[in-house]
A and B are shown apart, each in its own frame.
Chain A
Amino acid sequence: QKEVEQNSGPLSVPEGAIASLNCTYSDRGSQSFFWYRQYSGKSPELIMSIYSNGDKEDGRFTAQLNKASQYVSLLIRDSQPSDSATYLCAVNMGEGDMRFGAGTRLTVKP
């Protein structure tokens, strides 16, 4: 069974803190990994992609990948109220078969 698992939350952090979002996946052969942000009532928006083990940083966002542990994470530094959204982890499990987790709802409190 091809699965992507995320803690549904809600995850609540104070403004300025680091938010840590986690994701595990079932297909050991997966090669590409993504994080999307989805505001309520809107469509998902790509914020990070990562293809190799280690960290990838883009502004306040850092994606971390550990293929041996089948684990992907997203860190959001200096969290802002505007970061409050649902974050979707997505894993490409072969050809066009991109699987999404159910999402983690993040709330950043002023």
Chain B
Amino acid sequence: NAGVTQTPKFQVLKTGQSMTLQCAQDMNHNSMYWYRQDPGMGLRLIYYSASEGTTDKGEVPNGYNVSRLNKREFSLRLESAAPSQTSVYFCASSENFGYGYTFGSGTRLTVV
């Protein structure tokens, strides 16, 4: 039982490059989330998905897009990376809204 799997674990991008962070869960959870974590600022919600086919903006959505490909997979895309997007990105899932989360292991992204 893998839980929540994120890829890649580390990535270095040049300013303006694009990339997609992948996330998959095998717990049959309905809801999935993307957060970024920066020193001193805690976890901030980027996008979330209540269920397959639905996505909503969180607290800091600018510069990001998401796709809820199916119930298992929720990807995060950076179309034109900026140094301000240097962060650790976590994907999480929960049975439904209002339940506790299971987090993936994170992606450490550096934009130079």
Binding site for B on A (CB under 8 A): 2, 4, 8, 31-32, 34, 36, 42-46, 49, 88, 90, 92, 95-103
**With contact pairs A31-B98, A96-B56 given, residues A43 and B42 touching in the complex (Cβ less than 8 Å):** no
CA distance A97 to B50 in the complex (A): 11
The answer to whether A43 and B33 touch (CB under 8 A), given A97-B45, A100-B42, A100-B43, is no
Least CB distance, A104 to chain B, in whole angstroms? 11
Chain A nearest CB, measured from B106 CB (Å): 5
Of all chain B residues, the one with the shortest Cβ separation from A94 is B97
Question: What size tier do the contact residues of chain B reach?
Answer: 20 to 34
Q: A49-B99, A88-B43 are in contact. List 8 more A-B contacts (CB 8 A).
A: A4-B42, A43-B105, A44-B43, A92-B98, A95-B50, A96-B31, A99-B45, A100-B42
Q: How far is the CA of A34 from the CA of B31 in the complex (A)?
A: 17
CB distance from B55 to the nearest CB of A (A): 10
**B45 A98 Cβ-Cβ under 8 A:** yes
* Among candidates A31, A34, A99, residue contacting B100 with C-beta atoms closer than 8 Å: A34
User: Smallest CB-CB separation from A31: which chain B residue?
Assistant: B98
Determine the residue in chain B with the shortest Cβ distance to A47.
Answer: B100
The answer for the CA separation of A36 and B98 in the assembled complex, in Å, is 15
List of A residues within 8 angstroms of B101 by Cβ: 34, 36, 44, 46, 90, 98
Interface residues of B in 54-75 (CB under 8 A from A): 56, 58-59
Shortest C-beta distance, B8 to chain A (Å), equals 15
Q: Is the CB of B41 within 8 A of A102?
A: yes
For A8, what are the chain B residues with a Cβ–Cβ distance below 8 Å? 40
B48/A96 in contact, CB under 8 A:
yes
Report chain A residues within 8 Å CB of B58. 96-97
Please, which residues of chain A bring their CB within 8 A of the CB of B44?
100
Query: What's the Cα separation between A98 and B59 when bound, in Å?
Result: 10
Rounded to whole Å, the gap between the CB of B35 and the closest CB of chain A is 8
* A102-B56 in contact given A43-B105, A95-B97 (Cβ < 8 Å): no
Cβ-defined contact, B100 with A88, below 8 A:
no
CA distance A99 to B45 in the complex (A): 7
